[in-house]
Amino acid sequence: MKVAVVGATGLVGSTMMQILEERGFPVTELIPVASEKSVGTKVWFKGNEYAVVSADTAIGMKPALALFSAGGGISLELAPRFAAVGCRVVDNSSAWRMDNGKKLIVPEVNGHVLTAQDMIIANPNCSTIQMVMILNPLHLKYGIKRVVVSTYQSVSGTGQKAVKELMDQRSGSTEHKVYPYHIDLNVIPHIDVFQDNGYTKEEMKMSLETCKIMGDDAIKVTATTVRVPVIGGHSESVNIEFERDFYESDVKELLSNQSGIVVVDNPSMNGYPMPLDAEGKDEVFVGRIRRDYSQPNTLNCWIVADNLRKGAATNAVQIAHYLLDKGWIG
């Protein structure tokens, strides 16, 4: 099976290749794709060296699957061209997420909505993915009315240049080209561009994408997204108001029994999830599970995941496995 990775030289693209290998996806020929300036660059996959090619070359090779992580503008231009030659596209950008004709998928939550006709499939925002993993089983049991979330997002979510900027600042640099302010020893309550309503695009993504993935526009979500000086792993403080009351013990048991979720909740032993614990792992970690005593039927929790893996690359590869299992690629 020919598999293209568009944006193969970036953080998410390289992680996609790593996870394809880890999960034994049946790739017979890898087609790494990047910008013209990167054509000819070598990447490694399953012990073999592959040369990066242009998008035109990749399309001509007619891959069965293309995993995209190259930005919204590129996805809007190239995804339809790949699809036109019979290639299934899983796109990690925001380009197709809110398109009414495209599915927005977290396999554990709504993989069942995919059909054989879906040629371009959207991968959600990293922070949305880890949140809906926790929200969905709770919504099915208790009915979610409202979610208030504050995120603590690592610099790897911005890319390789942001990671370098943080480490350079840690070594004494005063330059800040990626972010509008110094990120080391600081937090910046600003991810993506501000909208007319005062929210950032990232904050609106979390609200709109959650409702689409969970198939319920009645769920109200308000978000504040914050960049923190952590290299990898996103964290979220989430307040959830339900229609029906709950027991904390039942919530913990319910989440513990969900595939892809790990409950780490032992306050007496300082047991709670942290980005360092999630690094390199595909699960979503949840802890600090406790009742909000300020109003009825409301729960607080703390959610952590590796943003490059479950927040991006792993989720995309899981979608690809779903398509493979259905016999829609191969």
225 within domain boundaries: yes
108 within domain boundaries: yes
Residues 302 and 318 placed together within one structural domain of the fold: no
pLDDT for res 26? 97
User: What total of structural domains would you count in the chain?
Assistant: 2
- Determine the structural domain holding residue 173 and report its residue range: 127-307
**Domain of residue 218, CATH code:** 3.30.360.10
Report the C-alpha gap between 7 and 73 in whole angstroms. 13
pLDDT for res 144? 98
What average pLDDT values come out for the chain (330 residues) when binned by 10 residues?
96 97 97 94 95 97 97 96 98 97 98 98 98 98 98 97 97 96 98 98 98 97 98 98 98 98 97 97 98 98 98 98 94
Residues 135 and 277 placed together within one structural domain of the fold: yes
**Domain of residue 88, CATH code:** 3.40.50.720
pLDDT for res 17? 98
Report the C-alpha gap between 4 and 27 in whole angstroms. 10
Nearest residue to 132 (alpha-carbon basis) of 258, 246, 244, 15: 258
pLDDT for res 70? 93
Please, which residues have CB within 8 angstroms of residue 29's CB and are 6 or more apart in sequence? Answer: 1, 2, 3, 61
User: Which pair of tokens denotes residue 270?
Assistant: 């300082």
254 within domain boundaries: yes
Residues 90 and 204 placed together within one structural domain of the fold: no
Report the C-alpha gap between 193 and 82 in whole angstroms. 29
330 within domain boundaries: no
pLDDT for res 163? 97
Residues 108 and 160 placed together within one structural domain of the fold: no
319 within domain boundaries: yes
Residues 290 and 175 placed together within one structural domain of the fold: yes
Annotated catalytic residues are 126, 234
145 within domain boundaries: yes
34 within domain boundaries: yes
Residues 103 and 144 placed together within one structural domain of the fold: no
Cα-based distances in Å from 166 to 159, 173, 312: 11, 9, 21
Residues 131 and 72 placed together within one structural domain of the fold: no
Residues 171 and 265 placed together within one structural domain of the fold: yes
Residues 133 and 110 placed together within one structural domain of the fold: no
Residues 167 and 120 placed together within one structural domain of the fold: no
User: Which pair of tokens denotes residue 97?
Assistant: 């997420």
pLDDT for res 216? 97
pLDDT for res 330? 79
Residues 62 and 133 placed together within one structural domain of the fold: no
pTM value? 0.96
Residues 220 and 163 placed together within one structural domain of the fold: yes
